[in-house]
Amino acid sequence: MSETETTTEQAIHPKLQQSLGPNNTVEKDIPEDVVWIDDAFYVKKTRFGLYTSILKNPLGANFITGATEDGVITMTRWHLMCIQDGSIDDYTRVVNNGIVGGKL
């Protein structure tokens, strides 16, 4: 692993890393003329007609997908703001953790 990859991984907020998940899709071809929203992400239309936000840090990480461009922009801004101010845990919960209790 190079120094650049190590630095990039360390710069990712732990809550953002948790939101992205272990098998996050990464955009390999980012157009040079892309318009970065809030200098943090841009929105791309997928081949299925949906919209996906692509993060600047970590570069190319697919973040939120939705039916409308405005909805994806709104929710991406909200999610990043909650991660930044530490309030994301106030809005999230685990419904089922997949662990079976007791003896089978």
Alpha carbon separation from 84 to 12, 46, 77 (Å, rounded): 11, 27, 10
Instruction: Give Dmax over CA atoms of the chain in angstroms.
Output: 58
Task: Give the predicted TM-score (pTM) of the model.
Answer: 0.74
pLDDT digits (tens, 9 = 90+) for 52-90: 999 998 889 999 999 999 999 999 999 999 988 989 888
Question: Quick one: how many helices (H) and strands (E) in the chain?
Answer: 3, 3
pLDDT digits (tens, 9 = 90+) for 6-57: 344 446 777 788 778 777 788 888 999 999 999 999 999 999 999 999 999 8
